[in-house]
Amino acid sequence: MIITKNNTHTKLNYSDATVPGTLWVDPSMKLVIYMPEQIENSMFTRMFFYDGEGLEYFEPAYINPQVKLFKFNIEKFREDRKNQTS
């Protein structure tokens, strides 16, 4: 289960859960969304539900509750690829 308070995401793990996956609780506490294991760590999930947290080359460009736009940091990506091949 993921709970967000003051823009901080807190993950609560339940090892005895009978249904695998993640429950995301909206900061308003009025909405809960279930994500099966197959998508709980997908790029869409990380961008939409976690505002891009943990994504190395994507930076928030515009975020509100309904729309989230990200900028791809091509310079950092190219530099990292260059360093990997050297």
**Mean pLDDT of residues grouped by 10 in the chain (86 residues)?**
78 84 86 91 89 90 89 94 84
Query: 76 near 57, Cβ under 8 Å?
Result: yes
Q: How many CA atoms lie within 13 A of 24 on its CB side?
A: 16
The CA-based angle 36-7-20, given to 5 degrees, is 15
Q: Does the predicted TM-score (pTM) go above 0.85?
A: no
Model pLDDT, residue 42: 92
Model pLDDT, residue 30: 87
For the chain, what is the radius of gyration of the CA atoms? 16
Query: 47 near 55, Cβ under 8 Å?
Result: yes
Model pLDDT, residue 70: 95
Query: 60 near 51, Cβ under 8 Å?
Result: yes
Model pLDDT, residue 8: 78
Model pLDDT, residue 9: 77
3-state secondary structure of 75: helix
